[in-house]
Structure 1
Amino acid sequence: MASSGVHAGRHIYQKSTIFLSNFERICPRRNFAWTVSACQKAAVASQGSSEEIVIPRKKTWNKEAVLQALAATVKRDPTASHYMFQDDPYLIPRTSGEFKLYSLSQESGRSAARYFINTYPKFFQKDFAEPHIPCLMPENFQLQIEEVSEAALVERIQLRKVKAAVDMYDQLMQSGTTLSLDLTNDLLDLICLYGDQDPKQDDTDPEQRAEDAEEVQEEPKKGRGRPRRASEIIRVVWRESNNAERIFNLMPERDSRSYGALIQGMVRHEAFAKAFSTYTDLLNNRLTADVNTFNALISAAPELKEKYVEKWELILDLLKQMVEQNVRPNLLTFNAVLKALRRCGPISRSQAPLVFGEMTALGIKPSLASYNHILSIFCRTSTSTQGHTGMLQDVLNRISGSSFEPQDPEDMLFFLNAMRICLEHKDLEQAYRVHSLLQEGDNWKMLGDSYQQNLYFGRFFNLLCMMEHIDVILKWYKELIPSMYFPNPQGMRDLLQALDTDGRLDLVPQIWKDIKQMGLDRVELVEEMLSLMAREKHSAEVQEAFAECALDMKRRFVPGTSNKPALEWTASALGSTTAILLAAQRRPQAWEMMQLFKDNNRVPSDALMQDFLSSIKEVQDSRRAVELVQLSAGFCLPTTPALVQRVQQEFELTEEQKEALSSLELSSDDTM
Structure 2
Amino acid sequence: MLKAVEEEEEPRIRYFKNMFNSNEERVVSETEEQEERGPTSKALKRMKQGKVLVIDKLTALASTVGRDYTAPHYKYHDDPYLIPSSNIGKRTFALSKESGRKAAQWIRQEHSKLFQHRHADPPIEAFYPRPVYDENSEVTEDTLKKVIGDVSVSDAITVYQLLEKKGEVLSESTKQSFLELLCYYNGDDALPEDLIEERWFRQGTRARERQRKTWKDNGVAETVFRSIEPSTSAAYCALLQGMTRHYQVDRAWQLFEEMNHKGVPLTTEAYNSLIRVTSYLREGVEQRWRLIEELLVAMAKQGLQPNVGTLNSALETVSTMGLQRQAKTYALRTLAEFRKLGVEPSLASYYFLLNTFCKERGPTSSILVDIMSHINGRSFTIQDPKDTFFFVTAMDLCRNHLHDKDLAWSVDALLHTGNNYDLIGDSYKESIYYRNLFALLCSTEPFEVFMEFYNKMVPNIYIPEPGIMEEVLRAVDLNGAMDQFPRLWSDMVIFDHTDRENLITDILAGMVRNQPPSEDLTAKFAKVAWDIWTKLEAQDQERYRQLRCTGPILGDVMILCLRAGDFPKASMVLRKLDKEQHKVLGVPKLAALQLFLETCIANKDVTNAIWCMQYCTDAGFPEAGQLAQLLKDGVELTDSQVTELANIVGSEVMLEKETASIAAL
State the match for 1:648 in structure 2: 632
TM-aligned CA deviation for residue 275 of structure 1: 0.2
Counterpart of 1:366 in structure 2: which amino acid? P
Of residues 286, 291, 306, the one that matches 1:329 is: 306
After TM superposition, the structure 1 = structure 2 runs for residues 218-237 of structure 1, keeping only pairs within 5 Å, are 237=214
TM-aligned CA deviation for residue 509 of structure 1: 1.3
State the match for 1:478 in structure 2: 455
TM-aligned CA deviation for residue 294 of structure 1: 0.8
State the match for 1:549 in structure 2: 528
TM-aligned CA deviation for residue 501 of structure 1: 2.2
Of residues 501, 521, 536, the one that matches 2:498 is: 521
After TM superposition, the structure 1 = structure 2 runs for residues 126-137 of structure 1, keeping only pairs within 5 Å, are 126=117, 134=124, 137=127
* Distance (whole Å) between structure 2 residues aligned to residue 106 and residue 395 of structure 1: 41
Query: Contact between 2:474 and 2:506, CA under 8 Å: does it hold in 1?
Result: no
TM-aligned CA deviation for residue 152 of structure 1: 5.2
State the match for 2:128 in structure 1: 138
Query: Contact between 1:162 and 1:198, CA under 8 Å: does it hold in 2?
Result: no
Q: What is the TM-score when the length of structure 2 is the normalising length?
A: 0.79
* Distance (whole Å) between structure 2 residues aligned to residue 486 and residue 580 of structure 1: 28
Structure 2 unpaired stretches of 5+: 1-51, 194-207, 655-665
Counterpart of 1:664 in structure 2: which amino acid? I
Q: How many residues are paired up? A: 575
After TM superposition, the structure 1 = structure 2 runs for residues 268-307 of structure 1, keeping only pairs within 5 Å, are 268-307=245-284
State the match for 2:93 in structure 1: 102
Worse-superposed segment, 639-648 or 550-559: 639-648
Worse-superposed segment, 144-153 or 464-473: 144-153
State the match for 1:190 in structure 2: 181
TM-aligned CA deviation for residue 286 of structure 1: 1.0
Counterpart of 2:351 in structure 1: which amino acid? N
SS in 2 for 1:85: coil
State the match for 2:550 in structure 1: 570
Query: Contact between 2:85 and 2:495, CA under 8 Å: does it hold in 1?
Result: yes
Of residues 336, 339, 351, the one that matches 1:360 is: 339
Counterpart of 2:476 in structure 1: which amino acid? L
State the match for 2:395 in structure 1: 419
TM-aligned CA deviation for residue 503 of structure 1: 1.6
Of residues 369, 376, 379, the one that matches 2:355 is: 376
TM-aligned CA deviation for residue 322 of structure 1: 0.5
* Distance (whole Å) between structure 1 residues aligned to residue 78 and residue 517 of structure 2: 45
* Distance (whole Å) between structure 2 residues aligned to residue 127 and residue 67 of structure 1: 29
State the match for 2:482 in structure 1: 505
Counterpart of 1:532 in structure 2: which amino acid? G
Distance 1:591 1:251, change over 3 A: same
Q: Are residues 1:539 and 2:517 paired?
A: yes
Query: Contact between 2:555 and 2:592, CA under 8 Å: does it hold in 1?
Result: yes
Worse-superposed segment, 246-255 or 500-509: 246-255
Counterpart of 2:529 in structure 1: which amino acid? A
* Distance (whole Å) between structure 2 residues aligned to residue 232 and residue 435 of structure 1: 27
Counterpart of 2:128 in structure 1: which amino acid? P
Distance 1:342 1:119, change over 3 A: farther
Indicate the structure whose relative CO is greater, using CA pairs within 8 Å and at least 6 residues apart: 1
State the match for 1:600 in structure 2: 580
Distance 1:665 1:391, change over 3 A: closer
Counterpart of 1:652 in structure 2: which amino acid? E
Query: Contact between 1:422 and 1:431, CA under 8 Å: does it hold in 2?
Result: yes
Kindly provide the CA deviation profile for residues 180-234 of structure 1, in whole angstroms up to 9, marking residues without a partner as x: 4333323322332232x3425569xxxxxxxxxxxxxxxxxxxxxxxxxxx9999
Q: Are residues 1:430 and 2:407 paired?
A: yes
Kindly provide the CA deviation profile for residues 289-339 of structure 1, in whole angstroms up to 9, marking residues without a partner as x: 001111111111111112111111111111111001111112111111111
What CA RMSD, in Å, does the superposition of the two structures yield over aligned residues? Answer: 3.1
Query: Contact between 2:442 and 2:475, CA under 8 Å: does it hold in 1?
Result: yes
Query: Contact between 1:115 and 1:202, CA under 8 Å: does it hold in 2?
Result: no
State the match for 2:622 in structure 1: 638
Q: Are residues 1:394 and 2:370 paired?
A: yes
SS in 2 for 1:64: helix
* Distance (whole Å) between structure 1 residues aligned to residue 170 and residue 69 of structure 2: 60
Q: Are residues 1:657 and 2:652 paired?
A: no
Distance 1:587 1:607, change over 3 A: same
* Distance (whole Å) between structure 2 residues aligned to residue 133 and residue 426 of structure 1: 57
Distance 1:121 1:298, change over 3 A: farther
Q: Are residues 1:628 and 2:618 paired?
A: no
* Distance (whole Å) between structure 1 residues aligned to residue 213 and residue 160 of structure 2: 18
State the match for 1:403 in structure 2: 379
TM-aligned CA deviation for residue 419 of structure 1: 0.7
Query: Contact between 1:368 and 1:414, CA under 8 Å: does it hold in 2?
Result: yes
SS in 1 for 2:75: helix
State the match for 2:560 in structure 1: 580
State the match for 1:67 in structure 2: 58
* Distance (whole Å) between structure 2 residues aligned to residue 235 and residue 344 of structure 1: 18
TM-aligned CA deviation for residue 76 of structure 1: 2.9
Kindly provide the CA deviation profile for residues 503-548 of structure 1, in whole angstroms up to 9, marking residues without a partner as x: 2123211211121122211233112111111124332434333222
Counterpart of 1:138 in structure 2: which amino acid? Y
Kindly provide the CA deviation profile for residues 356-403 of structure 1, in whole angstroms up to 9, marking residues without a partner as x: 222222222322111111222122222111xx2x31121111111111
TM-aligned CA deviation for residue 143 of structure 1: 4.5
- Percent identity of equivalent pairs: 30
* Distance (whole Å) between structure 1 residues aligned to residue 111 and residue 540 of structure 2: 48
Distance 1:65 1:579, change over 3 A: same
Distance 1:299 1:546, change over 3 A: same
Q: What is the TM-score when the length of structure 1 is the normalising length?
A: 0.78
* Distance (whole Å) between structure 1 residues aligned to residue 243 and residue 484 of structure 2: 59
Kindly provide the CA deviation profile for residues 436-465 of structure 1, in whole angstroms up to 9, marking residues without a partner as x: 111111111111122222221121111111
Q: Are residues 1:343 and 2:327 paired?
A: no
Q: Are residues 1:240 and 2:217 paired?
A: yes
SS in 1 for 2:231: coil
Structure 1 unpaired stretches of 5+: 1-60, 204-230
Q: Are residues 1:76 and 2:67 paired?
A: yes
Query: Contact between 2:148 and 2:181, CA under 8 Å: does it hold in 1?
Result: yes
State the match for 2:292 in structure 1: 315
* Distance (whole Å) between structure 2 residues aligned to residue 127 and residue 88 of structure 1: 36
Worse-superposed segment, 115-124 or 302-311: 115-124
* Distance (whole Å) between structure 2 residues aligned to residue 539 and residue 526 of structure 1: 23
